[in-house]
Amino acid sequence: MKKRIALSMILSVLLILLPVIANAHPGRTDSNGGHYCRTNCAKWGLENGEYHYHNGGGSNSAPAATAKPTTKPATKPTSKPTATPAPTLIVPKKQNIGTLQVYYFDVGQGDSTLIRTPKNQYILIDGGNNDQGKNVVKYLNALGVKTLDAMVATHPDADHIGGLDDVLKALDVKSVYAPKVSHTTETYKDFLTAVKNEGRTIKSVTKGVAIPLTGVDAKFLAPINSYGDDLNDWSAVLRVTYKNKSFLFTGDAEKASENDMLADGLNLKADVLKVGHHGSSSSTSKAFLDAVKPKYAVISVGKNNYGHPDSGILTRLKNANVSVLRTDQKGTITAICDGNNITFTTTKGASK
């Protein structure tokens, strides 16, 4: 008798729940506590095939159309997560005309430097890596640069020429200078294609070649010899002099090129040295540093796995009483020269 009463009660409950079950959206709950809606989805406020949880009636879209989520959220999200904004590019302040200005752009692990003469002529040395091209263009736009009197590609390494194709597309470039060495990378091919598309040819850089400027002397000191496959030693080395002050830009020139410049008896003296190869131990030999005798050194460097700048080079500069400014610490570094004095301003940290 008791069994009959129990069976009767079960049948009664099933008859009551049958309409609800018929309208439910079936789907086996997975190990994450959710499933995909298959029928009557609109009734439950869902899209057909939408993945959802039965945690108080909430639902969440699956992370991918073909895959189920691997973890169950602790709580129902109320909105989509906010994307992390890209860091704001801090552009340098444009200085008043009438001085020589050198802007060592912050382009991470790479090189890019703009020179502005007192007569408002512009020379860009290198353009950072491929992903920095648009930032270099933003720097130039912020400084009001519309035309480059000269572009210098020191050597074919990507962290120096990667962004130059963006610059060539965005600005009018009158002349392009580079050493006579080629490379097989797509980055180098992009640079050559951009030069060609702008109707320019590359002026070959060797010792003694000068960039024609008004009131400023800009002359290449290297490369002096051929260096085979060693692209760094092929670097175009430029010395810029305004009245009584000089700047030396060395690209990634290493000891073989430095030794050739020393052996050639060139005047290497400079008040500001752009340290070779991001402060690598393969550059800035003691003999070379003794010949340059800089008061200031700028290291263009970013986060890297190469150990740049080398601690031994930093010690060498310190022992020579050279004040060091680094783009990874100071951001873009601007040197302002009136011909007798040099002052610095930076986009991060204190001015020097």
- Burial label for 144, CB within 10 Å (0-12, 13-18, 19+), is exposed
**What is the greatest pairwise CA distance in the chain?**
118
C-alpha pair distances (Å), 49 with each of 25, 37, 65, 179: 10, 5, 9, 61
Q: Which of 159, 310, 297, 181 is nearest to 235 (CA)?
A: 181
Compute the distance between CA of residue 106 and CA of residue 98 in angstroms, rounded to an integer.
Answer: 24
Report residue 72: phi and psi, to 5°: -100, 130
The encoded tokens of residue 225 equal 């010899």
The token duo for 109 is: 């692990």
**Which residue do the tokens 């640069």 mark?**
145
Within 10 angstroms of residue 5's Cβ, the number of other Cβ atoms is 8
Q: Which long-range contacts (CB under 8 A, 24 or more apart) does 266-271 make?
A: 266/207, 266/221, 267/239, 268/221, 268/239, 268/292, 269/293, 270/239, 270/246, 270/294, 271/245, 271/246, 271/247, 271/295, 271/296, 271/342
Q: Taking a C-beta distance cutoff of 8 angstroms, is the pair 180, 207 a contact?
A: no
**pTM for the whole structure:** 0.76
User: Which residue type is seen at 333?
Assistant: I
| Cβ(126)–Cβ(152) below 8 Å | yes
Digit-by-digit pLDDT tens for the chain (352 residues) are 555 655 556 555 555 554 444 444 555 555 445 555 556 655 555 555 554 544 433 444 444 444 444 444 454 445 545 554 556 889 999 899 999 999 999 999 999 999 999 999 999 999 999 999 999 999 999 999 999 999 999 999 999 999 999 999 999 999 999 999 989 999 999 999 999 999 999 999 999 999 999 999 999 999 999 999 999 999 999 999 999 999 999 999 999 999 999 999 999 999 999 999 999 999 999 999 999 999 999 999 999 999 999 999 999 999 999 999 999 999 999 999 999 999 999 999 755 5
